[in-house]
Structures are given as structure tokens and as C-alpha cells.
Structure 1
Amino acid sequence: MAHKTGDQGTYRQGTYRERPSRLSGAVVWTRTATGAPGDAPPVLPDGCMDLLWTEGRLFVAGPDTRAYDPGATEPGGRYVGIRFHPGTAPALLGVPAHELRDQRVEVADLWGAATARRLAGQVDGAPDPVAALEGLALGRAADAGPPDPFLAEVVRSLDAGRSVAETAAALGVNARLLQRRSLPAFGYGPKTLARVLRLQRALALAREGLPYADTATVAGFADQAHLARDVKELTGMPLTELLGGGH
């Protein structure tokens, strides 16, 4: 099954690669399955959505509110994806994010079977499927127009650790309007988005070797216990298991 990869770092088998996309704010990634244990670890919530190609099929991975287990993959299977910055994919893909929350959906179900076959065929037949999928995304983005600056500011504010109330006030809207704008853009409300972004900040700090107590403080948690609870709720794993040890 195709899957999105979020901020997962390098796979243990060394098969995962990513680079900045020519599409502003997006990332291009590839993975070749080995079938070995740990080849496809759980995908963690990151606020992003992905457009994916694998072996003649196109998928969209919606925004996650919990860890997603991609399951076993066949050795040699190749996956290519474009990971879109939070809030930017719905206009490009033509579907509200909340309709795809915690789902992996075939492009045929979104754009029609004929369009999906044609686009998948273009990627299949290209000398470089990565460039072909990126070109597809760039074409959709050109048709969709520039990203909404309001949504970019929501992400920027919440990722800086500001509260939902502070974010709404800074943008000159009330909490109800912020909620209404957030659901189709991010797949969930600003409170959940803030938790997901805070989780990703914490994981990045902890992976750099910062002690858990300091990670909690810097990332914006009340304390280490709060960090541990959020990690368990959002990923389904204890913090030490997720990061492979304690510190």
C-alpha cells in the first residue's frame, strides 16, 4: 500500500531519500521497499498531505491524526511522493482536507478513472517517474493559483508556539472562523494542528539529542509528562520506544 512519509528521517534500510521540490514548500521523496523488518515504520502525524505513485497507481494520503501503519511491502517496490506543506494541498488536489483525514485514497476516486489512468500512465512511462510526478504537481499548482497567505500565517503562528486564541487575534478573526477555515485546509481544527506541529518540533529536538525534559520545555509542553502523553496519544508508542532509547 502506498503511504505518506511525513517527517520520518531516513529509513533504517537506507532506502528513503528526499529533496526540496521545485514546487515551493513541497518535498519530493522516494523509497524502495526491501521487505526487511523496519523497512516501513509507522508514519507519524505531520499536518501534511501527499500525492503518491507506486507501480502504476496514484494515491493521495490525507492528513493524519494518529500514526499510520503502512504494513508489509513487497521487496523492490518503488514509491514516489510529493509532500505538501500544511494547508497547500487541498486547492491543488481539488478536495477538502477533512474529507481525506486519516485516509489513503486512489486518485481515481478524486479525479475520475480516466484521468487517473492517463496521469498514472504518464508517470509509468517517464524515464524519471520522480520528475514526472513533480511535473504533474506543478501543473496542478499552476491551475490552482498561489497558496492562501492566511493559511500560511496560521501554520507559521501555531508552529511558533502561539495559542489558538493568540493566532486568531493576530489574524483578526474569531475562533469560530479560524476553525471553519482550518477544517478544509488542514483536515482538522487549529487545536489539533497545533498539537501535531508541536509533536514534530519535539521529535526533531529529541532526535538531535536534547534531553526529554529540555525538549518538552523548548517545544512548548508543560513538562516531560505532558510530552510523553501527547506522543503516546498521537503516535501510539511511548516516547522512548519511538526514539529508540531514553535520554
Structure 2
Amino acid sequence: MYSERASSLPHVVAWWSVTTAVRESRILPDGCLDIIWQDGRVFVAGPDTTAQVGCASPGSRCFALRFGSGTGPGVLGVPASALVDQQVPLDALVAPATVRRLASADDPLAALTAFAAGRWADPDPVMVGLASAARSGRPIAAIAARCGLSARQLQRRSNAAFGYGPKMLERVLRMQRAVSMARRGSPFARVSAEAGYADQAHLAREVRAMAGVPLGVLIS
């Protein structure tokens, strides 16, 4: 069972899950990082470049905040590039006493939200615009040009906010759009055209590279 809702914090989604049976889960890259409470353990799931595959035990519970648009690094005090493709115990980043309070909280989601609110720093507005453009399939080069950023400046700020550069962010969020369309029943040829791929073969290569399985297997 999985549920999510908008958090009281901007660009943040609150989610929770309970595992009812042993099954493999495949978590796709999404340009975000998460702070997760799982059965009393609190850790950070950094931004991914490829799918993470796991298998939780029946009865396992998770409560988490998913930080989009580059909001997570401000809360954690580290650039997203330090967390790419990693799961890092939260007490490696903040005071262990704070993490112990989170781990033992009666309402983990409320505790995580209060923790994040107390450390909140407004995200880089250029990176918020960059993420919005990438999610909608608009060219992100226009964002950089409008803000007067050089390619090097854009790369550095994107690395800090998302863990990787703008080209990788575009690839990740394009795949998210494609998978969402395919799950709604769109033919793969239409998905490739509307999501911004050169052709269906390009779609197939990109999904397999980042998800680890073909698109048909992913949505089955």
C-alpha cells in the first residue's frame, strides 16, 4: 500500500507505505531526494541516475518526504551531488540526537515535516524554474540564457541542487513523462514522439539504461 500528498512545505511531497507481501520494488530516478523513516531507521535516499531495486519484508512501514526542485540540499546542508545514487544515514549529516528523536517519534511524518521546516532554506529560484521546464519538456537552455548563466555556472548550480547537470535532469524527467504516458495506455510510438525522443528506439534505449528493464516490463 502506497499513498502520497502535498506537504505543507513547497515543492515537497509526503508519502507513506506499508508492505503487505514480499515483492520487488523498482524506484525510478525522478530528480528528487527523500528523507525516509523506515521501521525506526532514518536515512536519506539521494538523487538517482538509475533505478533502485529493493525488497521489503511484510509489515515494513515507511514515512518520507520527497524534496523536488532542488529543495533538499538546503535542509540537509550538503549539495545533492554528495548524495547521488546513495542511501546515507541521516545521522551522518545532522546531529545524532536529532535523528534519535525522529527515529522514536510516534508520528514519523509529522516529525520529519517539523525537522525539515526548522531547517528550511528557500531553494535557488533559477533551479526551481529549471526543474519546472524539464518536467514539462521545455528547453532548459532558455532558462539559463534568460538568467545570464554560463554553461559552467548552470552545471555547478544544477549539480548542487539536483546532484547532476541539466542534461541528466532532462533525461530523468523525460523518462518520467514517458513512463507516465505509457502507464496511461499510450502506444509506445506516440510516447516517444510526445515525450521528446528521436524515435521509438531512442525511447527504448533510454528507459532500459535508467530503469534497468524494457518499458513493456516496467509498466506490466
Give the shorter-chain TM-score range.
over 0.9
Does the Cα contact within 8 Å between 2:126 and 2:143 map onto a contact in 1? no
Residue 89 (str. 1) matches residue 77 (str. 2): no
Alignment match, 1:98? 81
Q: Residue 98 of structure 1: CA displacement?
A: 0.6
Does the Cα contact within 8 Å between 2:44 and 2:90 map onto a contact in 1? yes
Alignment match, 2:208? 232
Alignment match, 1:132? 111
Q: Residue 69 of structure 1: CA displacement?
A: 1.1
| Alignment partner of 1:202 out of 171, 178, 182 | 178
1:158 and 1:77 map into 2 onto residues whose CA distance is 34
Per-residue CA deviation, residues 114-140 of structure 1 (Å, 9 max, x unaligned), is 33223323x2xx2x3222222222222
Q: Residue 35 of structure 1: CA displacement?
A: 3.3
| Alignment partner of 1:53 out of 37, 41, 44 | 37
Q: Residue 159 of structure 1: CA displacement?
A: 2.5
Does the Cα contact within 8 Å between 2:2 and 2:17 map onto a contact in 1? yes
Where structure 1 has 5 or more consecutive residues not aligned to the other structure, the ranges are 1-14
2:130 and 2:23 map into 1 onto residues whose CA distance is 38
Alignment match, 1:8? none
Partner of 2:65: helix, strand, or coil? Answer: strand
Q: Give the letter aligned to residue 113 of structure 2.
A: E
Alignment match, 1:176? 152
Per-residue CA deviation, residues 19-39 of structure 1 (Å, 9 max, x unaligned), is 11111221111111223334x
1:104 and 1:172 map into 2 onto residues whose CA distance is 35
Residue 150 (str. 1) matches residue 126 (str. 2): yes
The 4+ residue runs of structure 1 with deviation greater than 3 A are 162-167
Alignment match, 1:6? none
2:181 and 2:12 map into 1 onto residues whose CA distance is 22
Partner of 1:80: helix, strand, or coil? Answer: strand
**How many residue pairs align between the two structures?**
220
TM-score (norm 2): 0.94
Alignment match, 1:43? 27
1:222 and 1:95 map into 2 onto residues whose CA distance is 36
Does the Cα contact within 8 Å between 2:179 and 2:215 map onto a contact in 1? no
Residue 34 (str. 1) matches residue 10 (str. 2): no
2:108 and 2:58 map into 1 onto residues whose CA distance is 19
Structure 1 range deviating more: 169-178 or 205-214: 169-178
Where structure 2 has 5 or more consecutive residues not aligned to the other structure, the ranges are none
Alignment match, 2:10? 24
Partner of 1:119: helix, strand, or coil? Answer: helix
Does the Cα contact within 8 Å between 1:164 and 1:175 map onto a contact in 2? no
Taking only the aligned residue pairs, the percentage that are identical comes to: 50
Partner of 2:15: helix, strand, or coil? Answer: strand
Structure 1 range deviating more: 58-67 or 149-158: 149-158
| Alignment partner of 1:117 out of 80, 100, 116 | 100
Q: Residue 83 of structure 1: CA displacement?
A: 0.6
Per-residue CA deviation, residues 164-202 of structure 1 (Å, 9 max, x unaligned), is 533322332121110011111100011000000101111
Higher strand share: 2
